[in-house]
């Protein structure tokens, strides 16, 4: 339950900083670099069409179609390391997942802007399990109503689980860190169900 305690908004998050051992995390990172079909998406900005500042991939069950920015995303089939992480995450979270968004941040120049994962396919209170591998990056959460900010250092092998009203009441981001070298892969496991009308991100 997301709530206010003494006027301070509480975010509904479970945090497992040592979910994988450092060796498991390193092995998973290099396996994912090889086995995942990474792509460079483009985004429309006021300054024209630009490459997204990270590489991405979707995997999931065949029916787990995800629509964002008006684009239908058919997931690719699960690859072995992603499948193994999914099973582990399901056990830890006590939830089922049928898709995952993979983001590959090649350096501190790669980032993800403020957003919430609020697509209709996810339902009102989604459980989203976020696995981090490689170079640690700061994950900021901002409470929309009050502007209160919380930050987590997403270290290699950590698992952060967002629940309840987190997507409704908060936004999150991975800010750029100029000059930071080192690669990071993040996986956000989700459960999506089919909806008729397209949603907006
Ligand atoms: O890279 C991260 O830790 C955040 C990823 C994220 O917010 C997303 O995939 O929606
Ligand atoms: Mn997100």
Confidence check: pLDDT of 198 > 60: no
CATH 3.40.50.970: does it fit domain 12-38+52-190? Answer: no
Mean pLDDT of 25-46: 96
Rg of the chain (C-alpha set): 16
- Extents of the domains making up the chain: 12-38+52-190
Q: Once rounded to an integer, what is the mean pLDDT over residues 172-186?
A: 98
| Residue from 104, 124, 106 nearest 116 by CA | 124
Which one of 58, 105, 111, 112 would you pick to mutate in the ligand 1 pocket, going by the greatest count of ligand atoms within 8 A of its CB? 112
CB distance 63 to 194 below 8 Å:
yes
Nearest ligand, CA 170: 2
User: What Å distances lie between residue 155 and 84, 120, 132, 152, 188, CA to CA?
Assistant: 19, 30, 7, 9, 15
C-alpha torsion 59→61→67→73, nearest 10: 50
Give 2's pLDDT tier (boundaries 50, 70, 90).
very low
Nearest ligand 1 atom to the CA of 160 is 3
| The ligand 1 atom nearest the CA atom of 137 | 3
pLDDT score at 6? 76
Q: What is the mean pLDDT of residues 24-43?
A: 96
> DSSP code of 74?
P
CA–centroid distance, 2 to ligand 2, in Å, is 17
pLDDT given at position 53: 96
- Please, what is the average pLDDT of the chain? 93
Query: Alpha helices of the chain — where are they, by DSSP H?
Result: 22-35, 80-93, 166-169
* Chain segment 61-110, per-residue pLDDT in tens: 998 988 766 667 789 999 999 999 999 999 999 999 999 999 999 999 99
Confidence bin at 154 (pLDDT 50/70/90):
very high
Q: Which atom in ligand 1 lies closest to the alpha carbon of residue 154?
A: 3
Average pLDDT over residues 22-45: 96
Q: Cα separation of 21 and 9, whole Å?
A: 32
């Amino acid at each position: 339950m997301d709530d206010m305690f003494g006027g301070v908004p509480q975010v509904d998050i479970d945090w497992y900083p040592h979910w994988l051992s450092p060796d498991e995390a390193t092995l998973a990172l290099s396996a994912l670099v090889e086995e995942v079909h990474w792509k460079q998406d483009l985004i429309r900005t006021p300054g024209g069409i630009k490459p997204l500042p990270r590489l991405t991939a979707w995997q999931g069950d065949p029916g787990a179609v995800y629509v964002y920015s008006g684009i239908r995303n058919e997931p690719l089939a699960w690859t072995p390391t992603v499948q193994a992480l999914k099973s582990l995450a399901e056990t830890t979270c006590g939830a089922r997942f049928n898709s995952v968004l993979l983001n590959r941040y090649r350096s501190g120049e790669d980032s993800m802007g403020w957003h919430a994962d609020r697509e209709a396919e996810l339902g009102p209170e989604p459980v989203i399990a976020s696995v981090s591998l490689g170079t640690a990056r700061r994950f900021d959460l901002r409470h929309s109503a009050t502007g209160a900010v919380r930050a987590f250092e997403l270290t290699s092998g950590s698992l952060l689980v967002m629940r309840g009203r987190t997507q409704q009441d908060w936004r999150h981001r991975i800010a750029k860190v100029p000059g930071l070298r080192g690669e990071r892969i993040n996986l956000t496991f989700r459960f999506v169900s089919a909806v008729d009308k397209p949603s907006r991100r």
